[in-house]
């Protein structure tokens, strides 16, 4: 069980102002160059998580986004990535990963598969050992076309913060329609994924024994390659939730390993 301690910062993060950002030192992905496929002026997300470091989502959506005019085109993404990687190579600054994340949920991007394939081609010309990854809230994984795109990636970090639909609605406030069983089925079909789960206490608590037990049942069902257990790193959208102490996180991780037979890391 690997351990790392990060202290919370004092304010919410501003939204990313462009397509490429960083590289940033990630708790999970090393030195990571970020790709934002989403608008720069607002969050485009299917969740409205109480702990989000970017603040609240004004209009959570699962609707198709192909008609939005403020999304970058795949060619623009690849051109920006080329310039960023060329500069990093000139500075002799190798990176560990290239990560789709940004201002919301990256799987809402309509040309995801095409863009992932292009990013891997550009990556191969500059830093072929870097992993191409995604941080996803799993809300769209029930769709076969999304799973096909995700399988093109080197690393799929997928979220599941609770094992019951009622608690997910309280923590993540997903856009409707939301059906937990579709998410679980999609994650099982996707396979070879890292499951990340954030724990909080305060106004909402997913660390009590019953909530953890139900969540572990879901982890066992999905059987990911790895579970990442962590808590708040920066101030959340809802200041009434609190960071979980490290001992509690370690106990949850140990329980995952013991009862679900899955390796767990604490961050």
Domain boundaries, the chain: 20-194
For the domain spanning 20-194, the CATH number is 3.20.20.70
**Mean pLDDT computed over 130-148:** 98
Contacts for 225 with CB less than 8 Å, ≥ 6 apart:
192, 193, 194, 262, 263
**Mean pLDDT computed over 32-53:** 96
**Cα 222 to Cα 93: distance, rounded to the nearest angstrom:** 37
Structure confidence at residue 109 (pLDDT): 97
pTM score = 0.93
Mean pLDDT, the chain, rounded, equals 94
- The owner of tokens 């979220």 is 159
Q: Are 82 and 114 in contact (CB under 8 A)?
A: no
- The owner of tokens 């808590």 is 231
pLDDT at 1 over 60: no
Q: If pLDDT is split at 50, 70 and 90, which confidence band does 10 have?
A: very low
- The owner of tokens 């609770």 is 162
Label the pairing between strands 97-100 and 131-136: parallel
Q: If pLDDT is split at 50, 70 and 90, which confidence band does 3 have?
A: very low
Residue 197, H or E segment: strand 194-198
Structure confidence at residue 6 (pLDDT): 32
Structure confidence at residue 8 (pLDDT): 37
Strand partners, 226: 194
pLDDT at 7 over 60: no
> How far from the centroid of its chain's Cα atoms is residue 187's Cα?
14
Lowest average pLDDT, out of 13-17, 93-97, 244-248, 249-253, goes to 13-17
**Mean pLDDT computed over 178-194:** 97
């Amino acid at each position: 069980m690997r351990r790392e301690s990060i202290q919370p910062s004092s304010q919410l993060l501003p939204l990313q102002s462009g397509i490429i950002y960083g590289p940033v030192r990630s708790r999970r992905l090393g030195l990571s160059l970020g790709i934002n496929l989403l608008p720069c002026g607002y969050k485009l997300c299917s969740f409205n998580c109480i702990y989000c470091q970017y603040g609240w989502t004004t209009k959570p959506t699962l609707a198709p986004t192909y008609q939005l005019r403020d999304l970058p085109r795949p060619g623009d993404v690849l051109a920006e990535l080329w310039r960023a990687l060329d500069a990093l190579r000139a500075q002799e600054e190798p990176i560990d990963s290239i990560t789709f994340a940004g201002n919301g949920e990256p799987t809402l991007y309509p040309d995801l598969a095409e863009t992932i394939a292009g990013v891997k081609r550009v990556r191969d010309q500059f830093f072929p050992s870097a992993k191409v990854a995604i941080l996803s809230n799993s809300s769209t994984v029930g769709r076969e076309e999304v799973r096909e795109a995700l399988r093109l990636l080197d690393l799929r970090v997928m979220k599941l913060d609770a094992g019951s639909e009622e608690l997910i609605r309280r923590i993540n406030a997903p856009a409707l329609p939301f059906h937990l069983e579709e998410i679980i089925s999609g994650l099982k079909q996707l396979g070879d994924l890292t499951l990340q789960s954030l724990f909080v206490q305060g106004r909402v608590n997913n660390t009590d024994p019953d909530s953890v037990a139900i969540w572990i049942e879901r982890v066992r069902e999905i059987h990911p390659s790895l579970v990442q257990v962590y808590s708040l790193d920066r101030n959340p959208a809802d200041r009434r939730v609190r960071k979980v102490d490290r001992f509690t996180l370690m106990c949850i991780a140990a329980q995952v390993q013991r009862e679900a037979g899955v390796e767990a890391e604490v961050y």
